[in-house]
Structure 1
Amino acid sequence: MITRVGTGASTTVRPYVPQDRERVLELIEGDRLPGRPAVTSSMLGHVLAGCCPGDAAASLLEEPRTDVAVDRSGEIVGVVGWAVRAQDGAGLLLWLHCVEDDQVIAAVLVRHMLEQAGRRTVRAFEAPTAISFAGLPVRSRRGTAVALEAAGFSRQDGWSFLHHRLDTLRRLPYGVIDITECADPYGWYVRLREKDGTHIGRAVVSRPVEGTSVLEWITLAPQPDGSGHTLLQQCLAHLADRSVREITVLLDIPADHSWGPVRDLHRQAGFHEIDQLRPYTRRP
């Protein structure tokens, strides 16, 4: 199906075809956040098939679709991927990228997706995909956020996206650490201990891609002097020794925005907030 929209029908929305791959990868690259690896053709293939991390099969989504917006000259200026969830019939706007996060193009793609999905609840950026975390980066993708809200979507609680460059880490004397491989999630299990074997912390990090890992979770023994961030720095220093150059972490955003000690721990260890990732919901 081809939809013509905009003044003088200058923008056309049509189904994605394999020849669009390189241009779509360029659009995705233009929105890449610090600490995120470049999206490969293989990763794009997974998201085109509707596969999400943790899904047993793409059949969890009914008829995953990808459509592109094309301008009058034939240039692809935007792309949107969406599907219907088999479990509850909800529409899922899985991913969307457009030229310079243009609000007008984003609005065209959002409207197109809603028209095709029909009258149903639609959830946008709710689930992670093979190319992204869950949640729209609302600061760096302001045009898409505005387009969603103008179309009736409501912003939901999300995550703070933090980033740390480990090549800036000041080398510290640190205790003993054990690193072993784990399968769920696929990565490394990290155990911090004193020389006498006393347990002081555990963490799981994803296996690095292009020198970048995700800190999936960490738990540290309480430190009477409040130096828990030093233990986290020790963990990061060991990861740097294993060629991890950058690390990211997602922290839940409290409903009342009253950040607690977990946020302080990461900030003191050298993490900085890059953006806030927010899912959206629109009810019929």
Structure 2
Amino acid sequence: MAATTARTQTSTTVRPCTPRDLERVLELIEGDRLPGRPTVSACTLGHVLAGCCPGDAAPSLLQEPRTELAVGTGGEVVGVISWALREQNGDALLLWLHCVEDDQQVAHVLVRHMLDQTGRRTVHAFGTPTAMSFAGLPVRSRRGSAVALEALGFSRQDGWSYFHCRPGTLARLSYKIIDITESPDPYGWYVRLRTSDGTYIGKAVVSRPVEGTAVLEWITLDPEHAAAHLHLRQCLAHLADRGIRELTVLLGTPADVASHNHSPAAELHRQAGFQEIDQLHPYTRRP
């Protein structure tokens, strides 16, 4: 596909990504990395560029996947966007987007270019997880991209609050209250929580650690229980003994919640030592 030029205050050229650009693309991705997420390697990026995205964007379900760059007047790469069409219904998917310092102008150019290429169809942005990231745009730390999407007619959808903690900083009780079974499949570790007298009170699944980081995939623990946060805190502290330095969890949050998530589950995680870092939201634009 030929390069195109979008007229802004300065000219920004949009062109396809090539192998020689991968190092710069990795730099842009690293600049947006959230606390608690592993560094994206060249191997992982190559896997994603080949169209290997989990969830509903499996390679066999995508048409015309493209990764394109925004290039400034001096030839420097200032942004990258990846998008494709869904084979089943023809909807467009904006899979991921990164810009220098989350530049609103660059994000606008890239998304506008994608819309020009996809034509009149429904577009879903950041609705699909990839090997590099969760679904959802971090709307606080990447405010420029969020503003650009909204200016181009995208509507924010229900998403997730992104919580993060460092288990190694938490004090331990003198007795063990969790049992951990390491699953042979990629899903991770199965955790059973119990009280000091041996009564089981909950279960959890933790992803297999990567570079000392892991995800608390789900947990069944009554947030109304008086000591629930203490049991969760101890679970986290003992996970640190297994080499987990940073742990993240995603909790559902409505599209119209602009500040902190104050649901019972969110409060439970805060009391246990998590901090809400950002909110991840997908976006939709209809023709």
TM over 0.5: yes
Q: CA 1:223–1:105 in 2, change beyond 3 Å: closer, same or farther? A: closer
Q: What is the aligned partner in structure 2 of residue 89 from structure 1?
A: 90
Question: Equivalents in 1 of 2:163, 2:185: separation in Å?
Answer: 22
Q: What is the aligned partner in structure 1 of residue 68 from structure 2?
A: 67
Question: Equivalents in 1 of 2:229, 2:177: separation in Å?
Answer: 16
The question of 1:268 aligning with 2:243 is answered no
Q: What is the aligned partner in structure 2 of residue 11 from structure 1?
A: 12
The question of 1:165 aligning with 2:166 is answered yes
Q: What is the aligned partner in structure 2 of residue 278 from structure 1?
A: 281
CA displacement 1:42-71 (0-9 Å, x = unmatched):
111122122222469411111211000111
TM-score between the two structures when normalised by the length of structure 1: 0.93
Using the TM superposition, give the Cα deviation of residue 161 of structure 1 relative to its aligned residue in structure 2, in angstroms: 0.3
The question of 1:231 aligning with 2:228 is answered no
Question: Equivalents in 2 of 1:262, 1:200: separation in Å?
Answer: 16
Structure 2 counterpart SS, 1:129: coil
Q: What is the aligned partner in structure 2 of residue 46 from structure 1?
A: 47
List runs of 5+ in structure 2 lacking aligned partners. Answer: none
Stretch of structure 1 that moved more, 196-205 or 242-251 = 196-205
Q: CA 1:195–1:270 in 2, change beyond 3 Å: closer, same or farther? A: closer
Using the TM superposition, give the Cα deviation of residue 256 of structure 1 relative to its aligned residue in structure 2, in angstroms: 7.1
Is the 2:55–2:128 Cα contact (8 Å) retained in structure 1?
no
Q: What is the aligned partner in structure 1 of residue 116 from structure 2?
A: 115
CA displacement 1:58-94 (0-9 Å, x = unmatched):
1111121100011122111100000001122110000
Q: Give, as a single letter, the amino acid of the residue that structure 2 aligns with 1:273.
A: E
Structure 2 counterpart SS, 1:146: helix
Q: CA 1:138–1:14 in 2, change beyond 3 Å: closer, same or farther? A: same
Using the TM superposition, give the Cα deviation of residue 266 of structure 1 relative to its aligned residue in structure 2, in angstroms: 0.4
Question: Equivalents in 1 of 2:176, 2:237: separation in Å?
Answer: 11
Q: What is the aligned partner in structure 1 of residue 246 from structure 2?
A: 246
List runs of 5+ in structure 1 lacking aligned partners. Answer: none
Question: Equivalents in 2 of 1:122, 1:51: separation in Å?
Answer: 20
CA displacement 1:145-204 (0-9 Å, x = unmatched):
010001010111111000001222122234342211236662111112346643122100
Question: Equivalents in 2 of 1:73, 1:222: separation in Å?
Answer: 54
Segments ≥4 residues shifted beyond 6 Å = none
Q: CA 1:207–1:148 in 2, change beyond 3 Å: closer, same or farther? A: same
Structure 2 counterpart SS, 1:186: coil
Using the TM superposition, give the Cα deviation of residue 31 of structure 1 relative to its aligned residue in structure 2, in angstroms: 0.5
Aligned Cα RMSD in Å?
2.0
Is the 1:174–1:234 Cα contact (8 Å) retained in structure 2?
no
CA displacement 1:235-261 (0-9 Å, x = unmatched):
111100011011000000146757332
Q: What is the aligned partner in structure 1 of residue 32 from structure 2?
A: 31
Using the TM superposition, give the Cα deviation of residue 222 of structure 1 relative to its aligned residue in structure 2, in angstroms: 7.4
- Identical residues among aligned pairs (%): 71
Q: What is the aligned partner in structure 1 of residue 152 from structure 2?
A: 151
Is the 1:202–1:220 Cα contact (8 Å) retained in structure 2?
yes
Q: Give, as a single letter, the amino acid of the residue that structure 2 aligns with 1:281.
A: T
Stretch of structure 1 that moved more, 195-204 or 32-41 = 195-204
Q: Give, as a single letter, the amino acid of the residue that structure 1 aligns with 2:240.
A: A
Q: Give, as a single letter, the amino acid of the residue that structure 1 aligns with 2:194.
A: R
Q: How many residues align?
A: 283
Question: Equivalents in 1 of 2:224, 2:279: separation in Å?
Answer: 29
